[in-house]
């Protein structure tokens, strides 16, 4: 498949399947789940189920738009068409900002593990090495990114699968040689009930787990560089339900069944390590560290890919420097990758120099971006369905269920979660929303200023990725 955009179809279907699965399992699942369990007890399962449902619905909407028009700009390009240039510009840049900060967070997490193994190299040295290796991978070709991601995501998937099987055997008392005296489904209700801190804790749990789901949308960005974009989007959209059910709900159910939710080791060792240690499995901590490290590297790899492709798409639409939209002979947008890496390095520097001020600001101010992106996807889909039905109804191969009612219900739930975050002072919820809103407001102002300036100049044609005729913007 040839792309007028200069990106090449270098991703195979197996790459795309793994990118879709791996995108859902971020390091946040391994690292962040312990706080959630401590806050909501076994009821954290309901928090995961709630956010999981939200992600499935949002991905269904995104799948509908992306299957009809696969593009490396994904939801930013759809927002551009459905809501206006300001929306595509704002959400594209906010999303880019989110992933650039993630690069620094993940590089630091990976460096901590590596420093524990080889202390001779300082932590910042490891962060540098990790960033350089993944930059090289992304610069070589999109195929090398896909291959890297295929194996990294593969390790994560196999590890979580094995964890669920071993844990389930222990819970039912049939795991040979394991000390599973604490294990059992009774742990779900024995220690102060299923909701030891009351039903309100489910919502607090939602705030803590929502960020570990970011990344589900990577498959729709990558589809633009695959052999059969429409098939790839349809497949990844349809399979997200079982992916979330197995990897998130399945593995967390195993954790809270193997151990009492209030076991102190969950907080000190992390939920998955504590669960494995409780079975007396030798070197459980190191095994888990290795798996977390592959998750971190996979997340970094995908984060860099995602940020650069969003920058590429913004450049293509005239919303970023034109050089971002240039690709080399291998179809790699070098300028977009290097610019994203550069900001990643700056963020890593801030993490070492000013961890409690500048870096904390960066993390908190990008925190609610996931929810903003999902909200924009909801509103884009409401408009986009009408555009697709009018122009090319045969392209509606993936359809949002119960349109438009379920779309409106999803948007309302996202707004409710954002509103609830404003009341949360204990876990930085309020700060995160306010700082993210502030950054979003700045980007929106730039978008409107830019729009009013370009409105006075003669408008260039915006190339459509699929249709030969010019697509009218709504």
pLDDT of residue 212: 82
Rounded distance, CA 24 to CA 214, Å?
A: 7
28 pLDDT more than 80: no
- Cβ-Cβ contacts under 8 Å for 151 (sequence gap 6 or more): none
pLDDT the model gives residue 312: 95
pLDDT band, very low/low/confident/very high, at 3 (cuts 50, 70, 90): very low
Preceding omega of 404 cis (within 30 degrees of 0)? yes
Cβ atoms of 29 and 272 within 8 Å: the answer is no
Mean pLDDT calculated for residue range 388-412: 95
- How big is the CA angle at 441 (ends 435 and 444), to the nearest 5 degrees? 145
- CA quadruple 55, 56, 62, 64: dihedral, nearest 10: -170
Looking at 51-65, 66-80, 234-248, which range is the least confident one? 234-248
> Does residue 32 carry a pLDDT above 80?
no
pLDDT in tens, 317-368: 999 999 999 999 889 999 999 999 999 899 888 888 888 888 888 888 888 8
Residue 199 has pLDDT above 50, yes or no: yes
Contact 325, 312 (CB under 8 A): yes
- What contacts 388, CB < 8 A, 6 or more positions away? 64, 65, 68, 395, 396
Question: Tens of pLDDT along 429-464?
Answer: 889 999 999 999 999 999 999 989 888 876 555 555
Q: What is the pLDDT of residue 466?
A: 47
pLDDT greater than 50 at residue 221: yes
- Of residues 465 and 7, the one with the higher pLDDT is 7
Mean pLDDT of 201-211: 85
Give residue-wise pLDDT tens across range 84-129.
999 999 999 999 999 999 888 889 889 988 999 999 999 889 999 9
**Residue indicated by tokens 């991978």:** 137
pLDDT at 414 over 80: yes
Cα separation, 253 vs 231, in Å, equals 32
In angstroms, how far is CA 435 from the centroid of its own chain? 20
Assess whether pLDDT exceeds 50 at residue 470: no
Tell me the backbone φ, ψ of residue 11, rounded to 5 degrees: -100, 125
Measured CA to CA in angstroms, residue 37 lies from 31, 331, 417 at distances of 12, 44, 19
Q: Is the pLDDT of residue 208 over 90?
A: no
Q: What is the tens place of the pLDDT at every residue in 268-302?
A: 888 998 898 888 888 888 888 898 899 888 888 88
Question: b/e per residue, 417-432, with b = 16+ CB within 10 A?
Answer: bbebbeebeebbbebb
User: CA-CA distance, 306 to 411, in Å (whole number)?
Assistant: 24
Alpha carbons 109 and 27: distance in angstroms, whole number: 9
Output the DSSP codes for 202-265: HHHHHHHHGGGGTTTTHHHHHGGGBSSHHHHHHHHHHHHHHHHIIIIIIHHHHHHHHS-TT-HH
9/223 Cα distance (integer angstroms): 9
Rounded to the nearest integer, the mean pLDDT of the chain is 88
DSSP annotation string for 6-37: S----B-HHHHHHHHHHHHS-HHHHHHHHHHH
Decide: 381 and 46 in contact? Cβ < 8 Å. no
In the structure, what pLDDT confidence band is assigned to residue 5 with cuts at 50, 70 and 90?
A: low
| Distance between CA atoms of residues 291 and 285, nearest Å | 10
CA–CA separation, 89 and 80 (whole Å): 7
Which of the pair, 23 or 33, is modelled with greater confidence? Answer: 33
pLDDT higher than 90, residue 16: no
How many Å apart are CA 90 and CA 296, to the nearest integer? 27
Average pLDDT over residues 134-163: 91
Which 8-state DSSP code applies to residue 327?
-
Closest listed residue to residue 95, CA positions, set 473, 397, 366: 366
């Amino acid at each position: 498949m040839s792309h007028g955009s200069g990106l090449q179809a270098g991703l195979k279907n197996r790459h795309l399947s793994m990118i879709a699965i791996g995108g859902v399992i971020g390091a946040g699942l391994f690292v962040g789940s312990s706080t959630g369990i401590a806050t909501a007890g076994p009821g954290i399962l309901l928090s995961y189920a709630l956010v999981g449902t939200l992600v499935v619905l949002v991905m269904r909407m995104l799948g509908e738009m992306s299957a009809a028009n696969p593009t490396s700009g994904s939801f930013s390009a759809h927002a551009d068409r459905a809501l206006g240039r300001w929306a595509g510009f704002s959400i594209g840049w906010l999303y880019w900002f989110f992933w650039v900060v993630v690069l620094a967070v993940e590089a630091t997490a990976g460096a901590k593990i590596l420093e524990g193994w080889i202390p001779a190299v300082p932590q910042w040295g490891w962060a540098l090495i990790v960033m350089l290796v993944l930059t090289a991978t992304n610069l070589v070709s999109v195929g090398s990114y896909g291959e890297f991601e295929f194996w990294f995501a593969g390790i994560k998937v196999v590890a979580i699968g094995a964890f669920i099987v071993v844990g389930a055997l222990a819970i039912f008392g049939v795991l040979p040689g394991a000390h599973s005296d604490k294990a059992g489904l009774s742990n779900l209700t024995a220690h102060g009930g299923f909701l030891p801190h009351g039903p309100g804790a489910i919502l607090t749990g939602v705030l803590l787990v929502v960020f570990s789901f970011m990344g589900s949308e990577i498959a729709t960005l990558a589809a633009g560089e695959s052999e059969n974009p429409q098939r790839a989007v349809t497949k990844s959209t349809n399979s997200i339900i079982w992916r979330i059910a197995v990897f998130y709900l399945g593995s967390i159910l195993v954790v809270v069944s193997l151990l009492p939710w209030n076991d102190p080791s969950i907080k000190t060792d992390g939920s998955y390590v504590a669960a494995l240690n409780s079975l007396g499995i030798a070197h459980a901590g190191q095994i888990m560290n290795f798996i977390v490290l592959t998750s971190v590297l996979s997340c970094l790899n995908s984060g860099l890919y995602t940020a650069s492709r969003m920058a590429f798409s913004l450049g293509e639409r005239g919303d970023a420097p034109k050089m971002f939209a240039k690709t080399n002979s291998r179809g790699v947008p070098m300028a977009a990758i290097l610019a994203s890496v550069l900001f990643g390095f700056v963020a890593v520097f801030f993490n070492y120099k000013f961890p409690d001020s500048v870096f904390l600001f960066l993390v908190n101010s990008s925190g609610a971006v996931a929810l903003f992106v999902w909200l924009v996807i909801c509103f884009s889909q409401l408009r986009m369905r009408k555009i697709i039905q009018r122009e090319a109804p045969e392209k509606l191969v993936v359809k949002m269920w119960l349109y438009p009612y379920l779309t409106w219900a999803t948007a309302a739930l996202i707004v409710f979660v954002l509103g609830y975050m404003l009341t949360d002072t204990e876990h930085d919820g309020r700060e995160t929303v306010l700082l993210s809103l502030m950054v979003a407001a700045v980007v929106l102002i730039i978008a409107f200023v830019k729009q009013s300036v370009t409105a006075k100049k003669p408008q260039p044609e915006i190339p459509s990725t699929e249709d030969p005729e010019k697509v009218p913007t709504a």
